[in-house]
Amino acid sequence: MKLAILFGGASFEHEISIVSAITVKEKLRGFKLEFIFCDQDHTFYQIDASKMRAVTFSKGEHKKMPKLSLIKGGFEKKSLFSSEVVGTTVLNLIHGADGEDGIIASLLDFYHIPFIGPRTDACVFSFDKRYTKYLCDALHVKSVAYETMNKNDERKIGLEYPVIIKPARLGSSIGVSIVKNESELDYALDVAFEFDENVLIEPFINGVKEYNLAGCIMDGEINFSIVEEPQKNEFLDFEKKYMDFSRSATVSSAEIDDKLVSDLQNTFAKIYTNLFEGALIRCDFFVVDGEVYLNEINPIPGSMANYLFADFSHTISRLLTSLPNRKRASVDYQYIHSISSAKGK
């Protein structure tokens, strides 16, 4: 089975995308894999599998490898007298900007390249935490209360302290702060506004139970992973999360009853269905007084949440045969013809 792993991107999560790609490579040993690296200037390179190590990129060695350009149907490699097209289905593994904001999905879609990953609209609803809130409200999925603030707004909040402040559009805890009282507010906002013009403010709930669940629709049905209770820190900082992206050992299921598993699965299904088809996503939930709250949608989870699936290779190979088809309009110039003939031209 062939698959091209696309990773990198002009993103604060560029480096963890490299780590993800290296991890996924190990987990998909039965596949015939290609590796396509997108550097921070948006140049694509074809990376030899044997060079898939972090230092290849940090030392700039990828620049000596073949450049690729997008053309209809794939990535083209040109030499002086010939050209070759990498036309394999792509696994979009670019975390953060480019990969999760809809840019890469749009590119692959425009160039008719089939891919595993969230489509443009699914990206917009999961990348910006404000829009995830809009989605939850519309779908009647519970999520914690929130306020938004733009960098030009007055720095006043209505929620009670402690609150958690997040840049609206970044993952991996970058720029996130817990604010215990008003005196800490300004600094936390300064930090968050370094990364985004908009921030999301939520109450910080202490001692909340957290559960992660991944899945994807295959042959019309959602294939769920096990439910994991992630290790708790106050919250994951970037360096810890970074290491988290290289996870590959299968974890054990959270010790929760069947009712909660089914509540988590039902909430996942509400979010996923009719929006995330084609993607393997991980939803991170809070459980408060037995009620399920959506915390975050990871439309391209770190190392594809491989560690949550008993048979990750099998999941990816089945997903590959269940990708959505985009319906395209066909143009027949009927109106222009009828108008031209009415004008006698």
Does 145 bind a second copy (CB under 8 A)? Our answer is no
| Dist CA 57 CA 22 (whole Å) | 12
Instruction: Say how far apart CA 199 and CA 189 lie, in whole Å.
Output: 8
32-38 and 2-8: which strand pairing? parallel
To 10 degrees, what angle do helices 129-139 and 258-272 make? 110
Identify which of residues 219 and 257 has a Cβ nearer to a second copy in the complex: 219
Question: Per-residue x/- marks for a second copy, 98-137, CB under 8 A?
Answer: x--xxxxxxx-xxxx-------xx--xx--x-xx-xxx-x
Q: Which residues neighbour 229 within 8 Å (Cβ) at sequence distance 6 or greater? A: 209, 210, 211, 212, 254, 255, 256
Residues 100 and 93: beta-carbon distance below 8 Å: no
- Asked whether position 242 contacts a second copy by CB under 8 A, the answer is yes
Residue 91 vs 168, nearer CB to a second copy = 168
Footprint of a second copy on 180-219 (CB under 8 A): 197-198
Select from 4, 5, 12, 316 the one that contacts a second copy (CB under 8 A).
12
Nearest distance in Å: CB 204, a second copy: 22
Does 342 help bind a second copy (rule: CB under 8 A)? Answer: no
Among 237, 151, 163, 157, smallest CA distance to 194 is for 151
What is the strand order of the sheet 291-298 is part of?
A: 221-228, 209-218, 281-288, 291-298
Report the Cα–Cα distance between both ends of the chain, in Å, rounded: 54
String of contacts with a second copy for each residue 255-284, x by CB under 8 A: -------------------x----------
Choose between 310 and 329: whose C-beta lies nearer to a second copy.
Answer: 329
In the complex with a second copy, which residue's Cβ is closer, 288 or 339? 339
To a second copy, the closest distance from the beta carbon of 47 in angstroms equals 15
**Could you say whether residue 26 binds a second copy (CB under 8 A)?**
no
Quote the DSSP letter at residue 251.
P
Which CB sits closer to a second copy, 41 or 258?
Answer: 41
Dist CA 105 CA 123 (whole Å): 8
Distances in whole angstroms, Cα of residue 312 to Cα of each of 27, 53, 65, 225, 272: 7, 22, 30, 9, 19
Considering the complex, state which of residue 1 and residue 124 has its C-beta at the smaller distance from a second copy.
124
Binding site for a second copy (CB under 8 A): 10-12, 14-16, 18, 40-43, 54-55, 57-58, 69-72, 96-98, 101-107, 109-112, 120-121, 124-125, 128, 130-131, 133-135, 137-138, 150, 197-198, 238-239, 242, 274, 328-331, 333-337, 339-340, 345
